[in-house]
Structure 1
């Protein structure tokens, strides 16, 4: 069960606020952050926060066919509920069985972008959930080498891609691990091609 953490926070990790049912360990407790990933001042903090999602001035549906900006952990929670639904669906398509609640919780924790203190903390839990690999930070391809980096960690393609007009070319098998990340791909000189960098697939 995905639950809103609650809106009784004071923005401080050292003064935990507890609300049920989110505080039950069996639940996924979702806190709120601003779009700049700063913890929302109202978001509950405690030792059962799992992840956070945007929940400040979130554009949402309202009464009488209107759209308004709303804030609260209840606005952050649908992000994670949708993520859980996608994980559940994709897991079943691949393995022909349903994932356990423990697996989903661990996956959400693993894929979270760490915010605040290093590792788990009371304000952000395990961090901001992201479907991007390693938290969706920049991918850097190393020209003249099969090496590429994600979040500063080194990874290796089986063979060096060839480069044409400052674009890396490799087989789809070679770059399949990158397809789940929509971050900017940086050439070796660190420049971007007027914001037009991206991925093209040719058959």
Structure 2
């Protein structure tokens, strides 16, 4: 039994370490202003197009003189927050289960993803200070923020409500008057 428990504990620590490493890599990418990796669509024509855009972004990032800032940092910060929160939950540093754990992991990440580009748009900054790729996204950031928050609430609210409605176990043994308001008091 202890061997199984030790193996499980080592597995938990290993998973937490991998999640923390992902969070650290994402945090470093955010601080450095690294360009956002493009998700490739279907078809070979999209692969070549997105690979070319990413290569030009990385080239502009490498040749920029000064601190490279990018709107992609909001994505990397959100990824880092989610990875660090997941690592803390897996390692047992934070005790939460079910929808509360999901809210703890996704809540800060959703807020950063929602408010970051919106703030960048309101301030009037471009997507990055080393390239003009991505500038067409910022005017749509208020819509993105509303859609992201709505989807997050729709996904999480029923789970939180279901957890809140679960019957609570009464911690007192049967036949005792502890825990019952007014029980054991007799008026004369």
The structure that is helix-richer by fraction is 2
Which structure: larger Rg?
A: 2
Q: What TM-score, normalized by structure 1, do the two folds share?
A: 0.20
Q: Could you say which structure has the greater relative contact order, defined with CA pairs below 8 angstroms and 6 or more residues apart?
A: 2
The structure that is strand-richer by fraction is 1
